[in-house]
Amino acid sequence: MKKEKIILTGDRPTGKLHIGHYVGSLRRRVELQNSGLYDKIFVFEADGQALTDNIDNPEKVRQNVIEVALDYLSVGLDPAKSTIFIQSQIPELCELTFYYMDLVTVSRLQRNPTVKTEIQMRNFETSIPVGFFTYPISQAADITAFKATTVPVGEDQEPMIEQTREIVRRFNHIYGETLIEPEILLPDNAACLRLPGTDGKAKMSKSLGNCIYLSDSADEVAKKVKSMYTDPTHIKVSDPGKLEGNCVFTYLDAFCRPEHFDRYLPEYASLDELKAHYTRGGLGDMKVKKFLAAVMQEELEPIRERRKVFEKDIPAVYDMLKKGCEVAREAAAQTLDEVRRAMKINYFDDAALIEEQAKRFAEQ
């Protein structure tokens, strides 16, 4: 049988999704979904993982589950093509995690650079919740339960995919070929790998207040672009400007397409030309920001419009999620069956085992 091509990816529902999520992953997912190259696509909300560092704030996760579902639908994820589901509704994932825990050492988990940074950011150093510390293992369960071959995610998820691959190899080595080793699919554009915040800080994050959300209104987006961080030494229009660390240009790298120049800035032929003028001096920040605002409105407007439509029928969105969970659960249960068989813990569905044991005791 030809190996199926299966995509799985997800997000923690701890906030509304922003344009960093969009260029880093969501936009690509929709392209992959519509490419027809994949046999199955699973997109899920990792609410269980979100709870690992929000255990005293379940309401936050509950509120954001619907926000993220609306974000998914509004960017063009289509439940007819992609199974959209919620992690906590698939108990099979917990069982897989439980078995995988024995395939990973504490010191291996301690080396995970993403988890290390997160522990620092949350001031968890002296009181790390065990569930948080072990979430890379549960993430391996998420990925392998659906036999994912391809995991489109941002760069920060690389250690999780590597951990998953190690678990798969170790499992298959001990118990025989059972699990599928996934590949990571990173954004192909450096600006999309890690979109900075509007303040120029390395990452867009809700707590820093430097995000542009997919659900922001046109006015909010315009205002945020206007106040974006550029080059603090570029004071007069005639001053030469720097591109490094100048997030207006990073955003253009992520969003701008050649045809945008025709539409909104016809005096330039390309982004390279615009950059050259800025570096040379003589191009003001306001003009570049206006262009960026126009480019972003063009991309975000259809997303906002679709969101408004889905917001009108919230029960239908929950219904869609519920159906997705049913489909996902079936797929995960199938894998779990195979895992239990491989691990020899399928006592009751193995007639040969019972017979063999009966015989052994009869001969005594």
Query: Residue with structure tokens 């036999």?
Result: 147
**Minimum distance from residue 215 beta carbon to ligand TRP (Å):** 18
- Residue 309: other Cβ atoms inside 10 A: 10
Please say which residue, 9 or 230, places its beta carbon nearer to ligand TRP: 9
**Minimum distance from residue 334 beta carbon to ligand TRP (Å):** 18
**Minimum distance from residue 159 beta carbon to ligand TRP (Å):** 10
Within the chain, what is the greatest distance between any pair of CA atoms?
97
Residue in 232, 241, 252 with CA at minimum distance from that of residue 190:
252
Please say which residue, 13 or 196, places its beta carbon nearer to ligand TRP: 13
Please say which residue, 206 or 308, places its beta carbon nearer to ligand TRP: 206
Handedness of CA 153, 156, 158, 164 (dihedral sign): negative
Q: Is 123 left (phi over 0), alpha (psi -120 to 50) or beta?
A: left
Q: At residue 41, what are phi and psi to the nearest 5 degrees?
A: -135, 125
- Residue 81: other Cβ atoms inside 10 A: 14
**Minimum distance from residue 46 beta carbon to ligand TRP (Å):** 4
SS3 label, residue 311: helix
Please say which residue, 188 or 219, places its beta carbon nearer to ligand TRP: 188
**Minimum distance from residue 136 beta carbon to ligand TRP (Å):** 8
Where would I find the H helices in the chain? 19-21, 27-35, 47-51, 58-75, 92-100, 106-110, 113-121, 130-133, 135-145, 158-175, 190-193, 218-226, 247-255, 258-264, 271-280, 285-311, 314-342, 351-363
**Minimum distance from residue 246 beta carbon to ligand TRP (Å):** 27
**Minimum distance from residue 218 beta carbon to ligand TRP (Å):** 27
Please say which residue, 171 or 261, places its beta carbon nearer to ligand TRP: 171
Q: Which residues bind ligand TRP (CB under 6 A)?
A: 8-12, 46, 49, 139, 142-143, 151, 153, 157
Please say which residue, 186 or 228, places its beta carbon nearer to ligand TRP: 186
Give yes or no for a contact between 81 and 7, defined as CB atoms under 8 angstroms apart.
no
C-alpha–C-alpha distance, residues 85 and 69, integer Å: 9
Residue in 121, 179, 151, 143 with CA at minimum distance from that of residue 28:
151
Please say which residue, 140 or 292, places its beta carbon nearer to ligand TRP: 140
**Minimum distance from residue 189 beta carbon to ligand TRP (Å):** 19
Give yes or no for a contact between 38 and 150, defined as CB atoms under 8 angstroms apart.
yes
* Rg for the chain, CA atoms, rounded: 24
Please say which residue, 154 or 241, places its beta carbon nearer to ligand TRP: 154
**Minimum distance from residue 112 beta carbon to ligand TRP (Å):** 11
Residue in 140, 5, 152 with CA at minimum distance from that of residue 77:
152
Cα distances from 349 to residues 231, 344, 345, 346, 352, in angstroms, run 67, 11, 10, 6, 9
Please say which residue, 153 or 321, places its beta carbon nearer to ligand TRP: 153
